[in-house]
Amino acid sequence: MKDIVFSGVQPTRNLHIGNYIGALKQWAHIQQQHHCYFCIVDEHAITVPQDPKLLRERILTVAAVYLAAGIDPKRSILFIQSEVPQHTELGWLMMTVAKMGELERMTQYKDKSKKGGTVGAGVGLFGYPVLMAADILLYDTTIVPVGEDQLQHVELTRVLARRFNEKFGETFVVPQPLIQKIGARIMSLQKPDAKMSKSDESEMASIFLTDDNDTIRKKIMRAVTDSTTGVTFDPEKKPAVSNLMTIYHHMTGQTMKEIETAYEGKGYGDFKKGLAEAIITHMGPVRDKIEHYLSDPTSLNKILDSGRDKAAAVAEAKMKVVRERMGLGR
Ligand code: TYM
């Protein structure tokens, strides 16, 4: 039987190679066998301040990124969250099922609200995982492929689905997270103990999908390494080099053993040169395709229109059941 897959990316700032390896690359693979929904989660993006004009531009860019990463609109449903209002509707209903304590434990909320303190943090930022649960539950999703940082949110989704089912009768499928073994958490090129993040202030910390070849070379050559020499995979003792090797593995398909053998007796300089070229070879065509899809907004809009209509039909059928089970309306 086919699984139903749902995942999404926020159209905030530039997407980076961590998003690509942790999420997009595995989506392209998973769509070969399963029924997939890939959403541009613009309503999640506004949980932190956004420039409206830039946000609209980024939404289309993310759609182009999905296609460039190999998402096939003939196989998968690609759509924008805010164009299917059932997401916010179910998000609200699930707010009445979630508990404050559960949301207070979410590490992403704790991190994001750290700077200004929880008193000044937006209520939307606090409730964000509940909207994510709604995204997933609307489609009877069985599998949610994400990077490690989203695992806690998928686990909350499972808790909310079970609670709802117990209270109102079997309504939602309880989904499973899908996290890959290598590459679920790509780290910053400058601070190997912090994940590569869209909100990092240093441009040098991330390889963006739009970076040109020289920028990729510069960023990799300046990436921090470990104090001990040798290209060996050991995330505990050599976190920086192991992170670079993880990227290398995803760019070339080579195993860690093969990478170690190729760079045996060589220094970090040689390894970094090889890594930069491997990134350029794999990501260069993706970057060119992003430009190609963005240059044809008519086709892009057609794909998003069709995705919206297909997603909305499924979402509305689910909402009819949910409203009735909860006793809403007439
Ligand atoms: P977002 O936009 O922060 O990230 C998109 C995807 O990229 C993964 N990711 C990473 N993977 C590996 N290494 C990294 N350094 C790295 N940084 C990000 C994320 O885990 C994610 O898979 N809340 C979600 C979006 C969302 C969603 C959903 C996802 C909303 N609704 C429903 C799945 C299902 C988010 O903010 O992702």
Q: What pLDDT, on the 0 to 100 scale, is given for residue 113?
A: 79
Q: What is the residue with the minimal CA distance to atom 31 of ligand 1? A: 132
For 12, list phi and psi in degrees, rounded to 5.
Answer: -115, 130
- What dihedral do alpha carbons 298, 302, 305, 307 form, nearest 10°? -130
Radius of gyration from C-alpha coordinates of the chain: 21
Instruction: Tell me the pLDDT band of 313, cut-offs 50, 70 and 90.
Output: very high
- Rounded to an integer, the average pLDDT of 201-227 is 95
Q: What is the residue with the minimal CA distance to atom 20 of ligand 1? A: 147
Q: Which pair of tokens denotes residue 56?
A: 């609209």
- Rounded to an integer, the average pLDDT of 91-116 is 90
Q: How crowded is residue 309: how many other Cβ atoms within 10 Å of its Cβ?
A: 13
**Distance from the CA of 148 to the center of ligand 1, in angstroms?**
8
Instruction: Tell me the pLDDT band of 117, cut-offs 50, 70 and 90.
Output: confident
Instruction: Tell me the pLDDT band of 121, cut-offs 50, 70 and 90.
Output: confident
For strand 143-145 and strand 77-80, is the pairing parallel, antiparallel, or unpaired? Answer: unpaired
Instruction: Tell me the pLDDT band of 112, cut-offs 50, 70 and 90.
Output: confident
Q: How crowded is residue 269: how many other Cβ atoms within 10 Å of its Cβ?
A: 10
Instruction: Tell me the pLDDT band of 111, cut-offs 50, 70 and 90.
Output: confident
Q: What pLDDT, on the 0 to 100 scale, is given for residue 320?
A: 98
CA 130 distance to own-chain centroid: 16
Q: What is the residue with the minimal CA distance to atom 16 of ligand 1? A: 18
Q: What pLDDT, on the 0 to 100 scale, is given for residue 279?
A: 98
Which residues have CB under 8 Å from 80's CB, separation 6+? 39, 40, 42, 59, 63, 304, 307, 308
Q: What is the residue with the minimal CA distance to atom 26 of ligand 1? A: 8
Q: What pLDDT, on the 0 to 100 scale, is given for residue 13?
A: 80
For 4, list phi and psi in degrees, rounded to 5.
Answer: -105, 125
3-state secondary structure the chain: CCCEEEEEECCCCCCEHHHHHHHHHHHHHHCCCCEEEEEECHHHHCCCCCCHHHHHHHHHHHHHHHHHCCCCCCCCEEEEHHHCCHHHHHHHHHHCCCCHHHHHCCHHHHHHHHCCCCCCCCHHHHHHHHHHHHHHHCCCCCEEECCHHHHHHHHHHHHHHHHHHHHHCCCCCCCEEECCCCCCCCECCCCCCCECCCCCCCHHHCCECCCCHHHHHHHHHCCCCCCCCCCCCCCCCCHHHHHHHHHHHHHHCCCHHHHHHHCCCCCHHHHHHHHHHHHHHHHHHHHHHHHHHHCCHHHHHHHHHHHHHHHHHHHHHHHHHHHHHHCCCC
**Distance from the CA of 325 to the center of ligand 1, in angstroms?**
31
Q: What pLDDT, on the 0 to 100 scale, is given for residue 63?
A: 97
Pocket (CB within 6 angstroms of ligand 1): 6-10, 18-19, 21-23, 41, 44, 132, 135-136, 144, 146-147, 149-150, 153, 184-186, 195-196
Residue 297 and residue 67 in contact, taking contact as beta carbons nearer than 8 Å: no
Q: How far apart are CA 307 and CA 305, in angstroms?
A: 5
- Rounded to an integer, the average pLDDT of 108-130 is 85
Q: What pLDDT, on the 0 to 100 scale, is given for residue 122?
A: 87
Instruction: Tell me the pLDDT band of 210, cut-offs 50, 70 and 90.
Output: very high
Q: Which pair of tokens denotes residue 66?
A: 């999905």
Q: What is the residue with the minimal CA distance to atom 37 of ligand 1? A: 9
Atom of ligand 1 nearest to the CA of 6: 34
Domains and their CATH numbers in the chain: 4-178+296-326 (3.40.50.620), 203-291 (1.10.240.10)
Q: Which of 146, 151, 154 has most ligand 1 atoms within 8 Å of CB, for mutation?
A: 146
Q: What pLDDT, on the 0 to 100 scale, is given for residue 198?
A: 82
Q: What is the residue with the minimal CA distance to atom 34 of ligand 1? A: 7
- Rounded to an integer, the average pLDDT of 120-138 is 94
Report whether pLDDT(115) > 80: no
Report whether pLDDT(119) > 90: no
Atom of ligand 1 nearest to the CA of 132: 31
**Distance from the CA of 100 to the center of ligand 1, in angstroms?**
23
* Mean residue pLDDT across the chain: 95
Report whether pLDDT(191) > 90: yes
Report whether pLDDT(71) > 80: yes
- Known catalytic residues are 112, 195, 198
- Rounded to an integer, the average pLDDT of 93-109 is 95
Around 223, how many Cα atoms within 13 Å sit in the side-chain half-sphere? Answer: 31
**Distance from the CA of 145 to the center of ligand 1, in angstroms?**
9
Q: Sheet holding 4-9: strands in order across?
A: 77-80, 35-40, 4-9, 143-145, 176-178
Q: What pLDDT, on the 0 to 100 scale, is given for residue 168?
A: 98
Question: How confident is the model over 7-64, as pLDDT tens digits?
Answer: 999 998 889 999 999 999 999 999 999 999 999 999 999 999 999 999 999 999 999 9
- Rounded to an integer, the average pLDDT of 84-88 is 98
Question: How confident is the model over 161-183, as pLDDT tens digits?
Answer: 999 999 999 999 999 999 999 88
Question: How confident is the model over 266-287, as pLDDT tens digits?
Answer: 999 999 999 999 999 999 999 9
Report whether pLDDT(321) > 80: yes
**Distance from the CA of 10 to the center of ligand 1, in angstroms?**
7
